[in-house]
A and B are shown apart, each in its own frame.
Chain A
Amino acid sequence: MSRLLLRREVVAELLAGRANALVIAGLGAPAWDITHAGDHELNFPLWGAMGGAAMLGLGAALAQPKRKVLVITGDGEMLMGLGALATIAVQQPPNLCIVVLDNERYGETGQQETHTGHGVDLAGMAKAAGFARTFNVRTPAEVSRLQRQIYAGAGTLFAQVKVDPERLPLVLPPRDGSLLKNRFRAALLGPDAAHQ
């Protein structure tokens, strides 16, 4: 059996081509992973709001149809907001891509098992909901293909990427939510954002 993908290598590769994409990360490890790849004004890492990452992505994608919106989150976070798969599939914003880094664990709370280690196929659920593009990703070649699909393709995308349940040092983004929000809006909308 080949070795599992390493989450920070996956995230570094997916973000390498980001250009002007908007990036939202679910709480915990995905927030540390996108920050490990480089803190960025157009990152919005969540410190809470578990189950809300994909829906934040939908709101941003509908507001900014010309930008790619990439949500990177974990299996536990996605499982808490499964209804969002139906809500998003009905809206079908072609610029929204959701990538679940699936280590089959609640990593921040002591590596307890999630449903994905017991047969729950999140990409299958997204496909059944009606997502235009869904992927199960397990190999480096599939990560490269996913990276191309995110930036070159169109159509609401969901990918479930199986990753190693490794414990890694935390790489913390700023944790003042107002700062994260305001710098994101200023970078995206310009200085007038503060006077909207």
Chain B
Amino acid sequence: MKKTSEPAWPDEVHALLKEAGVRQVAIVPDAGHARLIKLCEQDKSMRVVRLTSEEEGVALLAGAWLGGEKGVLLMQSSGVGNCINMLSLPLACQFPLLMLVTMRGDHGEFNPAQIPMGNTTQAVLEALGVIVKRADAAGDVTDMVSGAMRLAFNTYRPVALLIGQRVSGAKDFRKLTRSVPK
């Protein structure tokens, strides 16, 4: 059961993906995707494929499209760095690829190690030729996913939607040093 304090977008995005016929859900987890991942895992029409590295998902979903299935890749912005050369595959072959990227190294970041990749995620993707869109308010996420999904599957190319750290909130390391959430 969803708590009232939780945002609506993960449930809406799950419904959107399901309606579009997305079958393969490739993931390297991020806290910002936790609820969407759980919804996909509970959905018998979807196959959640846990990856060891995000680039595996780029190749997986090219294979899925070859076989006639749609997919989505869920990851954190640091994972974009792991994908760079593998993105040559959808770019060179015009495979549709929908990437939903929750941002770190963004609004209110605490961890210095997240900054180099997070702060350049959009520039790096755009330098490659990947279409990048951003959602920075929870109320915008569902519509932005819908648009990014249609761009990817209707025009046969990789599209990344960056979901800003303002949406999911920065991880509070200081608080976590005092208590571990259940």
The residue from A63, A90, A184 contacting B69, defined by CB atoms under 8 A apart: A63
Residue among A61, A62, A91, A189 with the highest chain B CB neighbour number at 10 A: A62
0/1 per residue, B47-89, Cβ < 8 Å to A?
1011111011111111111111101000000000000011011
A-B pairs with beta carbons under 8 A, tally: 117
B93: chain A residues at CB < 8 Å are 177-178, 180-181
Q: Is the CB of B86 within 8 A of A51?
A: yes
With A83-B56, A84-B52 as given contacts, are A185 and B63 in contact (CB-CB < 8 Å)? no
* Tally of B interface residues using CB under 8 Å: 32
We find that the number of chain A residues with CB closer than 8 angstroms to chain B is 38
Contact B89 A64 (CB under 8 A): no
Residues of A within 8 A of B64 (CB): 59-60, 62-63
Interface flag for A48 (CB, 8 Å): yes
Q: Cβ of A188 < 8 Å from any Cβ of B? A: yes
**Is the C-beta of B24 less than 8 angstroms from some C-beta in chain A?**
yes
In the complex, the chain B residue whose C-beta lies closest to that of A52 is B59
Please give the distance in Å from A133's CB to the nearest CB on chain B: 20
Residues in B neighbouring A44, C-beta threshold 8 A: 66
Instruction: Known A-B contacts: A55-B59, A63-B66. Give 16 more (CB < 8 A).
Output: A44-B66, A48-B92, A49-B88, A50-B85, A57-B63, A58-B63, A59-B59, A60-B63, A60-B66, A62-B69, A63-B68, A63-B69, A84-B52, A87-B50, A181-B93, A188-B67
A-contacting residues of B (Cβ < 8 Å)?
Answer: 23-24, 47, 49-53, 55-69, 71, 85-86, 88-89, 92-95
